[in-house]
Amino acid sequence: MALRCLIVDDNDRFLEVARGLLEREGIVVVGVASTCADALRRAGELRPDVTLVDIGLGEESGFDLARQLARAGCEERSRVILISAYAEKDFVDMIAASPAVAFLPKSCLSGRAISEILGAAGAGSLPADGPSAQR
């Protein structure tokens, strides 16, 4: 069964490009959202396996959204991966304190990277060359 994904980002162009990339790589993008409210609603309705959440959502915070998804019980059925165009080192403490399973730079976004993160999160460790900041 294909991995089902929700992408949350305030940049329409990124949403379009990311959706196309992930779908070409076998991930089913069940929806996209641009705001925290829309993301919470869509996550509840669509029940994705993974939710990619941009750290910066315009005036809103992806870190806040990750916490809201966890409080709403969405994280029990969907793992959150934080994404950003900024370097992980700029947010390392906030990433570690979040309920997200990992951080993935937007420049490294791929179906393989997401699958590796989720596989490692279930197994407890990441491959040596895999994405970083797995918790």
The pTM score is 0.86
Q: Is the pLDDT of residue 125 over 60?
A: no
Please count the structural domains in the chain. 1
Average pLDDT of span 116-123: 76
pLDDT category at 130 given cuts 50, 70, 90 is very low
Examine residue 129 and state whether it is found in any structural domain, yes or no: no
In a domain, 56, yes or no: yes
Residue ranges of E strands in the chain? 4-8, 28-33, 50-54, 56-57, 60-61, 79-84, 102-105
User: Looking at the domain assignment, is residue 79 inside a domain?
Assistant: yes
The more confidently predicted of residues 133 and 31 is: 31
Instruction: Let me know if residue 132 belongs to a domain.
Output: no
**What's the mean per-residue pLDDT of the chain?**
87
In a domain, 131, yes or no: no
Residue 130 DSSP label: S
CATH number of the domain enclosing 26: 3.40.50.2300
- Residue numbers of the domain that contains 112: 4-121
pLDDT for 73-86, tens place per residue? 755 667 999 999 98
What's the token pair of residue 131? 């994405």
Query: Is 130 among the domain residues?
Result: no
- Residue 34 in any domain: the answer is yes
